[in-house]
Structure 1
Amino acid sequence: MTAITTTLAPSGGGANAPALGGWSGDADYFRFQEHQGYQPQAVLDVLRGKVLGAVFRGMVPAAVCTELAERFWRNGEARSRDGEAPVRYIGAYHYHKTTRTYLDECAEVEAALDDVLAVEGDPLTVFYDGLAGALAAEGGTVRRAAHEGREACRGVLRSWFGRGEFALLPHEDRGQCGEPQQADFEIQRTADHQICALNICLENGAGGRLGVWNIQPDENSKRRLGTVYTGSPYPVEALAGIESAWLTIDPGDVYVFNGSHVHAVEPSEAPDVRRTTLSGLFGFIDDTTVVSWT
């Protein structure tokens, strides 16, 4: 299996296609490090901007993936959302909300999320415990983002079901972290560092690849495209000619990458095939402290 395909996108899009400006990395940076099993030190390389991403193949045992997926799909607390990013999920999203509203929703869903994740070898705990150990060796810590004594959600279980060209349209995660309604929330301090996305694959059939473009859009581009505080969506024509990497993911694989890059998810090739992940965001808020949120 070819796990990663790096391509230079065709230069189409027409003379009127909006140019997308921003930061692009060199060949040493724009790649996914491949590992068999979990290597927490590789996560630190992503957090510190040394490399685009890292993939930990087969990190989660098949039996754990199956049990978590089954618990997710039969849980009556799961919600559905339509719009540009249709999804079924258990968890809370900070996107476009006040800090209070987000943390209220985190508290409301905590019991349901804990119930689904109550399996031996919960991969979210394994991931963050491993990262905590790597950080502790350097005098650092990792914890959930907090405000006035309340904590962010542990993670989000989700299954994207968009059936167009993308199940999840091209977007980046930095814009939403500047939401003015969350000016009091410590996650906004990640803007001075790298904002990393975590995805733990529980189910996936043919297709369902992650696509990442070698561009972190600049403020001028964001203002022109209206993505300053949303990070989404970026028109496909704006990405024409920008190098991209396409990552094939199997159940049990865990991957992290710099979410400030424009990225998207392809739909599964068959409409009855589900792509289910356990996901979250994390980043440094100072030189030694990493926080996570959803």
Structure 2
Amino acid sequence: MNADQVSQAPAISPLSLAERTGSISTAEIISVLKGDITGLHIKQAFSSEVAEEITANFIRNPGLKERKDGVPGQYVGASHYRNDAATYFAQAEDARPFVNALFGTLVDPVRGVFDALKRELHNQGIELRLARSEDGQANVCRALSWSGTGMYALEPHDDVAQVVSAGSNYEIPAVADNTVAALNFYASMPEEGGNVRIWSHKPTVTDRKSQGVETTGYPYSAAYLDAFPCHDFQLKAGDIVLIDGGFVHGVTRQSGNGKRRLLLNCFFGFARPDLVLWWT
């Protein structure tokens, strides 16, 4: 029997994590993009006043919808998950005023990170831009409030499978050859739980097939993940988390004071050595 015929157990991939208080830096973001850091947690990265205003704008937003793609939650914005390019970009264009309404007169913290990173990458000869097609252009973020009621508010998943299988009319599948970075800004958090859990496992195509999640990356079973160490980012409103979305991650059960768990989310990564794409 040759080596190719030997069944390989899913691999444990070491986590390289960083946590601190303050503002996020472009150098740290680039470290995640380049695979040097797996997960970055910045505490008190933006003000509680901004977080509270975004939360209020989400609750009263006329673009607020229930997800209908098998992932329980509410959202404002557009998601490429299980959508073809024409549908996604049309939804992104339709949702743009509602995404803008999340911020009102506030300085948008997501746009601030995008603009700072764009300047830094430009200095390195790299373009950063929103993903686009003939049907439109991605938004800089979307707002999400997960509402799963089981062991996880958002079941364990990886973000690469959905990028690989996005389809030929998207630009983003090329990013899957590099790091698919997921950037989250937390506007509201419950009293208990709702934390990001990341496992020491970056699934391969074979791993995804074994779990029946080849095209979605969602969800991985608790039994499958028992073999892997994990880390919980303990979150509060005003925090930012940036992770390599190729690692399995999820959101722990939430309870407590009745506050919703609300985040602003986007994805980005290298499509070519001279191009970083950003989408939702």
Normalising by structure 2, what TM-score? 0.92
2:69 corresponds to 1:107? no
2:164 corresponds to 1:190? no
2:13 corresponds to 1:25? yes
Q: Secondary structure at the match of 2:254?
A: coil
Letter of the aligned partner of 1:69 in structure 2?
Answer: T
Whole-angstrom distance in 2 between the partners of 1:190 and 1:23: 22
User: Deviation of residue 269 (structure 1)?
Assistant: 2.1
Structure possessing the higher relative contact order (Cα contacts under 8 Å, 6 or more residues apart): 1
> How do residues 245-256 of structure 1 correspond to structure 2 at under 5 angstroms?
245-256=231-242
**Equivalence for 1:280:** 266
Whole-angstrom distance in 2 between the partners of 1:271 and 1:252: 17
1:68-101 Cα offsets, whole Å, 9 max, x none, are 1100001122001257521111011111121101
Identity %: 26
Larger deviation, residues 231-240 vs 146-155: 146-155
**Equivalence for 2:189:** 204
What 5-or-longer segments of structure 1 have no aligned partner?
A: 1-18
User: Deviation of residue 214 (structure 1)?
Assistant: 0.8
> How do residues 46-57 of structure 1 correspond to structure 2 at under 5 angstroms?
46-57=32-43
**Equivalence for 1:67:** 53
The count of corresponding residues between Structure 1 and Structure 2 is: 273
Whole-angstrom distance in 2 between the partners of 1:94 and 1:60: 27
Whole-angstrom distance in 2 between the partners of 1:135 and 1:33: 23
User: Deviation of residue 43 (structure 1)?
Assistant: 0.5
> How do residues 88-127 of structure 1 correspond to structure 2 at under 5 angstroms?
88-127=74-113
What 5-or-longer segments of structure 2 have no aligned partner?
A: 1-6
**Equivalence for 2:255:** 269
Whole-angstrom distance in 2 between the partners of 1:87 and 1:212: 20
1:5-33 Cα offsets, whole Å, 9 max, x none, are xxxxxxxxxxxxxx99555433xx53234
User: Deviation of residue 149 (structure 1)?
Assistant: 6.5
Contact 1:196–1:282 under 8 Å retained in 2: yes
Whole-angstrom distance in 2 between the partners of 1:132 and 1:47: 13
Whole-angstrom distance in 1 between the partners of 2:266 and 2:244: 12
1:157-180 Cα offsets, whole Å, 9 max, x none, are 111111211000010000011226
Q: CA RMSD in A?
A: 1.9
Label 1:148 to 1:81 Cα distance change in 2 as closer, same or farther (>3 A).
Answer: closer
Letter of the aligned partner of 1:218 in structure 2?
Answer: T
**Equivalence for 1:131:** 117
**Equivalence for 2:133:** 147
Contact 2:92–2:136 under 8 Å retained in 1: no
Letter of the aligned partner of 2:102 in structure 1?
Answer: V
Contact 2:111–2:140 under 8 Å retained in 1: no
